Structure formats: structure tokens, C-alpha cells
């Protein structure tokens, strides 16, 4: 059998999960959207059909105070339960099992009704919470129990009680946020009464045969967080109170350690769950940066957990489990942990989707159906836009010819995958290569598409991408001046002192490329980001050290905007912090004067400086490469322009893949 540990059923006594794969909870924004229950039903049913052992929904509040945002999803009434039935029926019809996550946001709520153990504002919400009274605490516990009962009535197989990530329950447990002097505060025993009472009341409400997962914060990553002994103590109490499974929570949302972004090594936090293995008699789930079956299998085989949770990988590929089980691992569309179309969307109050799978959360509207009018289509350019368009067209039964002037597929992805911490992009290229084989795309590498070829095709799609913008000042053609392609792709030698012109996504990537140390293992990552794997004190934080860098780097921009302003909401802070820890000098309001043998001459806020560098790397944005399109206009009846060739200004892979897919559906 492929991945024998992963596909071993898990017997919970009253029910059996068909494998060890949990689709972890993730808020997608479908919860609050129009016809949200129909959309969620289609979204979850597709994942159930893909073979997952157990699904957990996005967080649902047990009462209004627990809402994430005003009028966010909540379950406390019979009529709300009836709506949820659409989800549970759809999942059960596919042979799946589903739990509903109960999430009370506490002081992380984005509304003025927020409550918390103490009236302390969090650094990530503008609202100061109301301190719960003793009666308020007891009502909240009752609301959790009522919510669990309603979930049972709605047909769920269980609930997950969200006790981690710095939400309400976690706020009670940790002294940093619980300053109470009554029976719910003070000693650790008092502070954990809240979660214990919640689990006990929920179990009492629904009886024995209902899954209760408790998501326990095993590594707070905040000052004065729980100690390891406290974590173990709580886990034992939660088991006694009636939980069926314990899931792992890593890091509060306000923690300043990356926990799921792409630079976190794969499976990088399973060591935390492993510490608890053997101490309880109920199964443990581990999580974070598990995105391929071999990673999951190894975690289980090494005894780090009984089950693995993956959330974003199910946006990227709903069929992940079936593909793995059937030995089709090379067909998995891998989550590259970029957060660009999932978490960044949610934080922007937009519905989540997935950069590599635009169909995610659009199951009712984006459908790739067989064509009734087979055409011969030329796609020119094999970057993200061209690849997604070619594969979609071929999936639909068109005859597709993909032309690429370079010797390899991938366009800008070939640059991205060279950036330390972005190696996952090579999985996307592997996925597309395999899809090309399966759907018989005719790939013509090292081939320029000539205008004269166009007559051989019914339609021509131009996806010729971008060129790096060149800059024009005295000495800009000096041998010390390099383009980012020279550096990242062609690996031209770069000296010890470097100035980077342009601090957009590519500028930050190049800075990472030039300052990265070779060591990429889990221990090194934890040390660099100040995580104490020995857990010497509560929260498991170390004093943060400077990260070592092989080079001295200046990262420059002309505007006075915040550096890296255009980077992702959930990842920009990580890039900025990493640069600071590596002592990269990030300088705004720079005017470039000239380059000569002395270095780069600039004005900074009007004052002249010479940056004595060995090299200057140009990362000044992109311009469209659309000459072919211009040449073909008027000569080809069905001509299309997509990706960076269409719009270079705010180009990113998300836009390119989505546009390519949608055109592939439209032709």
C-alpha cells in the first residue's frame, strides 16, 4: 500500500476514520458570503470526494461576542442549524465525515462587542475587549455546550473546540492575558478551569458518540506563555473532561515567529506534538507546513503524531488523499505556502481561493468541462499564465501546442524557485509538467513562435510574460550592474557588498537570496527565529539573535512608502523582520545618481552618499513583453493576451494563473 501509516484507519471507538488525514480548519470567507452554505456544501463535498479522513470547518462562533467580524458565522439557534445541514448532507453524501470548529475570538474580535478574561487590547485588533464577569464566563461555557448540541442536530460528526492561536480560551490559560483575581484567574489551575469546563459541558450536552477535538496551544510563542509542564497538565485534564482527539496549535496570531509561511521547513513543528506522544490515551494530531504525502507519512512513521492536519493543501488540491493513495503523488497540486490567495484574501475581507487552484472556493462557478467545439490552439509562453491556460484547454479536449523560446517551462517561476524559502515553486512546475503529459499538450521548447505559424491555429494565446525594467542613469551599464535574472537564474558572481535598486517583491527576494545562509534544517530555523526547542520557559521563546548573512546589503527605493508595502499581509512582516535580523540596510527616498568604480552614488533625502558596493542589482519592476501580440493584431482572428504580457504593473502568479485558467475555460 502507498503511505501505509497515512492510510491506516483510526478507530475512535464509536466511529472509524478511514485514514489519518484531517482537513484542518480554515476560514475562507464563504461563511459570510451570499449563498454561503450552498457554496460551502460544494466546497467541502469536493474535499470529501477527494478522500480525506475528517474535515473541520472554518471557525463558527458560539455567540455574538465570539464573532470574528460583525455578523460573522455563528451557531446558536435551530434555524442556523438547519442551514448547516446543507453542508453535512453534502459531505455525508460523498462518504465523508465533518466536524464544525467552534471559535470564540475573545480579544481578537474585530468588533466592539469583544470580550476577554481581562480588558487588555490585543496588538492585532483595534477593539479593547470587555472583561467578562463571572456570570458572563458561565454563560459563555453554556453557549459552547449549546453550540455543540446544535452542531450535532445539524448532522456534524463532531466539533473542534478552538483552544489555541491566542483566541478566547487561550487568553484564559495564559497569565499575559488573564489578570483576573477570581476563581478563573491567578493560579494555572484556575486559568485552565475555563477550557476544562467547556469540554466537560460540551461532552455532557452531546453524549459519548460524538467527536470532540480540542485544539490545544502546545507552543504559544508569546512572552509568559504556557510552560511545557502546563501543556502536558492541560492535555491530561482535557482528556479527562471528555475530548476524543487533541489537535496541535502552534503560535498565537500576534506571535512574531513564522509558523506556516513558505520559509518554515516542511513538517517544521511536528516535534512539538511528538513531545506529548505517549502521555495520553487519546490520539494526537500534528500540523503546520505538511504539504506532501511523504512528509505526512514520515511524521506518522517517526511517531510524531497519530494523525496529520492539512488546511491549505486542500485548497490547492481537493483530491490530495486519493491521488496519494493511488500512487499518483506526482499529480498533486502542491500548496506552496505563499498565503497569497488564501489568508491574504481573508485578511482583506475577500473570499479565499488558491494561487495554484483558482477553482478553490469557486466550485459553483469555475468548472472545467469538456468542449463541444474542439479547436487547435497555440499558447505562446510557458510561464504561469501560459501553463495554466494550456493545461485547462487540454483538459477540455482542445488540441494544444505550447511554444516556449527557453529550454524549460516555467517563466518567472524558474526565478522564484531559486529563492531560499520559495523552493516549493518547483512543485508547481512538476505539477504542470505532469498535467501536460496526462492531457497531451504538445510542448515545443526552444521554439520561437513566428507570425507565419499563426495561420495553422484556430486561436492564438499570447502569454509572453515580462522583462525586468532597465534603469537609465550614468554608469547603469557598468560591469558591476546586474539584473535580478543575472543573479538568481544565471548565478553570476556577486561580491560581498551589494546595493539592490527596487524594494518590491523581487527586491526582497533578491535580498533574501544574497543574505541567506546555507543551513536550512528545522533546528537552524528555530534558532534563527528564536524558538526554544528545549522549552526552557513559558512560550518557548529565546532571545532573538541576529541572523548571520554572508553579505552586506542595501535595499533601496525612491518613494517614502513603507518598505515592502506591496508584500502579502500575512508574510510582509516576516520578510521585513528577516531583513532587519540580517542587518540589511533598508533605505527610502533614494535618488540614483551614477555608478562608477567607487560604487553607487545616491542622494538620500537630498543628501549625497556613495555606497561602496561591489555590485548593484536592478529589481525595478517589470515591463510587458507584448511585441508578438502587437505583430499579430489584425492578422489573427482569435487572438488573446494574458499574464504579464497583458499587465506587468501589478503582475503576480495569482493573477496570471487565474487569468490563464479562465481563458482556458472560455475558449
Q: Which residues bind ligand SF4 (CB under 6 A)?
A: 312, 315-316, 335-342, 354-356
The cell for 228 is: 511545557
Of 70, 303, 495, 566, the one binding ligand NAP (CB under 6 A) is 566
Q: Residue 509: which of ligand NAP, ligand SF4, none does it interact with, CB under 5 to 8 A by kind?
A: ligand NAP
Q: What track of x and - describes contact with ligand NAP for positions 643 through 662 (by CB under 6 A)?
A: -------xxx----------
CA 150/CA 189 separation, integer angstroms = 30
With vertex at residue 590, the alpha carbon angle to CA 586 and CA 592, rounded to the nearest 5 degrees, is 120
| E strands in 494-536 | 497-501
CA 516/CA 498 separation, integer angstroms = 14
Q: Residue 337: which of ligand SF4, ligand NAP, none does it interact with, CB under 5 to 8 A by kind?
A: ligand SF4
Q: Give least dist CB 246 to ligand SF4, A.
A: 25
Q: Cβ closer to ligand SF4: 320 or 513?
A: 320
Q: Give least dist CB 210 to ligand SF4, A.
A: 30
H or E segment and range at residue 197? helix 193-206
Q: Residue 336: which of ligand NAP, ligand SF4, none does it interact with, CB under 5 to 8 A by kind?
A: ligand SF4
Q: Give least dist CB 55 to ligand NAP, A.
A: 30
For the chain, the straight-line distance linking the first and the last C-alpha, in angstroms and rounded, comes to 41
- CA-based nearest residue to 462, from 324, 340, 348, 627: 627
503 binds ligand NAP (CB under 6 A): yes
CA 403/CA 380 separation, integer angstroms = 5
Place of cell 459570510: 32
Given a contact cutoff of 8 angstroms between Cβ atoms, the answer to whether 583 and 546 are in contact is: yes
619 binds ligand NAP (CB under 6 A): yes
Q: Give least dist CB 349 to ligand SF4, A.
A: 16
Return all residues near 428 (Cβ < 8 A) that are at least 6 apart: 333, 334, 336, 356, 384, 413
Q: Give least dist CB 571 to ligand SF4, A.
A: 10
Interface segment toward ligand NAP; rule CB under 6 A; list 144-152, 388-396, 558-566, 627-635? 558-566
Of 557, 624, 626, 661, the one binding ligand NAP (CB under 6 A) is 557
Q: Cβ closer to ligand NAP: 504 or 530?
A: 504
CA 409/CA 399 separation, integer angstroms = 19
Residues classed as catalytic: 167
Per DSSP, what are the bridge partners of residue 400?
A: 377
Q: Among the residues of 370-519, which ranges form H helices?
A: 384-395, 413-416, 425-438, 484-488, 505-515
518 binds ligand NAP (CB under 6 A): no
Q: Give least dist CB 616 to ligand NAP, A.
A: 11
Q: Which of residues 439-498 bind ligand NAP (CB under 6 A)?
A: 469, 471
Given a contact cutoff of 8 angstroms between Cβ atoms, the answer to whether 360 and 311 are in contact is: no
CA 28/CA 349 separation, integer angstroms = 9
567 binds ligand NAP (CB under 6 A): yes
Q: Cβ closer to ligand NAP: 102 or 503?
A: 503
CA 154/CA 137 separation, integer angstroms = 25
The cell for 36 is: 454561503
Given a contact cutoff of 8 angstroms between Cβ atoms, the answer to whether 245 and 211 are in contact is: yes
Return all residues near 662 (Cβ < 8 A) that are at least 6 apart: 358, 366
389 binds ligand NAP (CB under 6 A): no
Which residue has the CB atom at the shortest distance from ligand NAP?
A: 504
CA 215/CA 103 separation, integer angstroms = 10
Place of cell 484556430: 458
Q: Cβ closer to ligand NAP: 231 or 341?
A: 341
CA torsion through residues 15, 19, 22, 23, sign = negative
Q: Cβ closer to ligand NAP: 219 or 481?
A: 481
509 binds ligand NAP (CB under 6 A): yes
Rg of the chain over all Cα atoms, to the nearest angstrom: 26
162 binds ligand NAP (CB under 6 A): no
Q: Residue 316: which of ligand SF4, ligand NAP, none does it interact with, CB under 5 to 8 A by kind?
A: ligand SF4
Q: Cβ closer to ligand SF4: 120 or 295?
A: 295
With vertex at residue 178, the alpha carbon angle to CA 175 and CA 179, rounded to the nearest 5 degrees, is 95
568 binds ligand NAP (CB under 6 A): yes
Return all residues near 181 (Cβ < 8 A) that are at least 6 apart: none
Residue 323 buriedness (CB in 10 A; 0-12 / 13-18 / 19+): buried
Of 48, 109, 192, 501, the one binding ligand NAP (CB under 6 A) is 501
Q: Residue 355: which of ligand NAP, ligand SF4, none does it interact with, CB under 5 to 8 A by kind?
A: ligand SF4
161 binds ligand NAP (CB under 6 A): no
Of 621, 643, 660, 664, the one binding ligand NAP (CB under 6 A) is 621
Q: Give least dist CB 29 to ligand SF4, A.
A: 13
CA 421/CA 404 separation, integer angstroms = 27
Q: Residue 385: which of ligand SF4, ligand NAP, none does it interact with, CB under 5 to 8 A by kind?
A: none
Given a contact cutoff of 8 angstroms between Cβ atoms, the answer to whether 422 and 509 are in contact is: yes
Q: Residue 620: which of ligand SF4, ligand NAP, none does it interact with, CB under 5 to 8 A by kind?
A: ligand NAP
Q: Give least dist CB 589 to ligand NAP, A.
A: 9
Q: Residue 312: which of ligand NAP, ligand SF4, none does it interact with, CB under 5 to 8 A by kind?
A: ligand SF4
Interface segment toward ligand NAP; rule CB under 6 A; list 66-74, 133-141, 302-310, 500-508? 500-508
Q: Give least dist CB 556 to ligand NAP, A.
A: 7
Q: Residue 341: which of ligand NAP, ligand SF4, none does it interact with, CB under 5 to 8 A by kind?
A: ligand SF4
Of 158, 251, 318, 502, the one binding ligand NAP (CB under 6 A) is 502
The cell for 629 is: 501580440
Place of cell 541572523: 547
Which residues of the chain form contacts with ligand NAP (CB under 6 A)? 469, 471, 501-509, 557-559, 566-568, 619-622, 650-652
Amino acid at each position: 500500500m502507498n503511505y501505509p501509516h497515512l492510510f491506516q484507519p483510526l478507530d475512535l471507538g464509536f466511529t472509524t476514520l478511514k485514514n489519518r488525514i484531517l482537513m484542518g480548519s480554515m476560514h475562507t470567507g464563504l461563511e459570510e458570503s451570499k449563498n454561503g452554505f450552498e457554496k460551502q456544501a460544494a466546497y467541502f463535498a469536493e474535499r470529501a470526494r477527494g478522500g480525506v479522513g475528517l474535515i473541520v470547518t472554518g471557525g463558527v462562533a458560539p455567540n455574538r461576542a465570539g464573532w470574528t467580524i460583525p455578523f460573522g458565522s455563528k451557531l446558536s439557534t435551530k434555524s442556523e442549524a438547519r442551514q448547516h445541514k446543507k453542508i453535512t448532507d453534502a459531505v455525508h453524501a460523498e462518504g465523508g465525515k465533518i466536524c464544525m470548529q467552534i471559535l470564540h475570538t475573545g480579544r481578537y474580535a474585530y468588533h466592539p462587542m469583544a470580550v476577554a478574561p481581562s480588558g487588555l487590547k490585543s496588538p492585532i485588533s483595534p477593539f479593547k475587549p470587555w472583561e467578562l464577569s463571572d456570570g458572563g464566563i458561565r454563560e459563555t461555557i453554556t453557549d459552547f455546550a449549546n453550540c455543540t448540541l446544535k452542531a450535532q442536530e445539524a448532522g456534524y460528526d463532531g466539533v473542534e473546540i478552538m483552544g489555541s492561536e491566542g483566541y478566547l480560551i487561550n487568553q484564559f490559560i495564559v497569565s499575559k492575558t488573564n489578570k483576573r483575581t477570581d476563581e478563573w484567574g491567578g493560579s494555572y489551575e484556575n486559568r485552565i478551569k475555563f477550557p476544562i469546563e467547556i469540554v466537560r459541558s460540551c461532552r455532557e450536552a452531546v453524549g459519548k458518540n460524538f467527536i470532540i477535538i480540542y485544539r490545544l496551544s502546545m507552543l504559544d510563542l508569546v512572552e509568559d506563555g504556557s510552560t511545557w509542564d502546563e501543556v502536558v497538565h492541560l492535555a491530561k485534564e482535557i482528556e479527562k473532561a471528555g475530548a476524543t482527539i487533541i489537535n496541535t496549535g502552534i503560535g498565537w496570531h500576534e506571535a512574531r515567529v513564522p509558523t506556516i509561511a513558505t520559509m518554515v521547513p516542511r513538517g517544521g513543528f511536528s516535534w512539538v506534538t511528538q513531545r506529548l506522544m505517549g502521555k495520553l490515551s487519546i490520539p494526537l494530531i500534528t500540523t503546520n507546513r505538511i504539504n506532501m504525502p511523504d512528509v505526512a507519512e514520515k511524521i506518522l512513521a517517526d511517531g510524531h503524531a497519530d494523525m496529520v492536519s492539512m488546511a491549505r493543501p486542500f485548497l490547492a488540491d481537493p483530491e490530495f488523499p486519493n491521488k496519494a493513495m493511488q500512487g499518483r503523488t506526482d499529480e498533486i497540486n502542491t500548496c506552496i505556502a505563499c498565503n497569497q490567495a488564501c489568508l491574504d484574501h481573508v485578511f482583506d475581507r475577500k473570499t479565499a481561493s488558491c494561487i495554484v487552484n483558482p477553482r478553490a472556493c469557486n466550485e459553483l462557478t469555475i468548472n472545467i468541462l469538456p468542449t463541444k467545439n474542439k479547436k487547435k490552439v497555440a499558447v505562446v509562453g510557458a510561464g504561469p499564465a501560459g501553463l495554466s491556460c494550456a493545461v485547462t484547454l487540454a483538459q477540455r479536449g482542445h488540441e494544444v501546442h505550447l511554444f516556449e523560446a527557453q529550454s524549460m517551462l516555467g517563466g518567472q517561476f524558474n526565478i522564484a524557485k531559486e529563492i531560499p524559502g520559495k523552493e516549493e515553486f518547483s512543485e508547481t512546475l512538476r505539477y504542470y509538467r505532469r498535467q501536460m503529459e496526462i492531457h497531451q499538450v504538445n510542448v515545443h521548447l526552444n521554439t520561437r513562435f513566428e507570425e507565419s505559424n499563426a495561420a495553422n491555429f484556430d486561436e492564438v494565446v499570447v502569454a509572453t510574460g515580462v522583462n525586468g525594467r532597465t534603469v537609465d542613469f550614468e554608469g547603469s551599464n557598468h560591469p558591476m550592474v546586474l539584473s535580478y535574472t543575472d543573479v538568481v537564474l544565471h548565478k553570476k558572481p556577486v561580491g560581498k557588498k551589494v546595493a539592490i535598486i527596487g524594494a518590491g517583491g523581487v527586491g526582497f527576494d533578491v535580498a533574501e537570496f544574497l543574505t541567506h545562509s546555507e543551513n536550512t534544517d528545522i533546528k537552524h530555523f528555530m534558532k534563527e527565529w528564536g524558538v526554544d526547542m528545549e522549552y526552557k520557559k513559558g512560550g518557548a521563546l529565546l532571545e532573538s539573535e541576529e541572523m548571520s548573512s554572508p553579505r552586506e546589503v542595501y535595499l533601496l527605493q525612491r518613494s517614502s512608502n513603507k518598505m515592502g508595502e506591496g508584500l502579502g499581509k500575512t508574510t510582509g512582516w516576516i520578510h521585513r523582520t528577516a531583513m532587519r535580523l540580517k542587518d540589511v540596510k533598508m533605505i527610502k527616498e533614494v535618488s540614483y545618481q551614477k555608478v562608477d568604480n567607487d560604487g553607487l552614488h545616491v542622494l538620500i533625502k537630498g543628501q549625497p552618499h556613495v555606497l561602496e558596493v561591489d555590485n548593484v542589482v536592478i529589481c525595478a519592476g517589470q515591463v510587458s513583453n507584448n511585441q508578438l501580440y502587437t505583430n499579430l493584431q489584425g492578422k489573427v482572428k482569435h487572438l488573446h493576451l494574458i499574464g504579464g504580457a497583458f499587465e506587468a504593473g501589478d503582475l503576480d502568479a495569482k493573477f496570471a494563473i487565474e487569468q490563464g485558467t479562465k481563458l482556458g475555460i472560455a475558449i
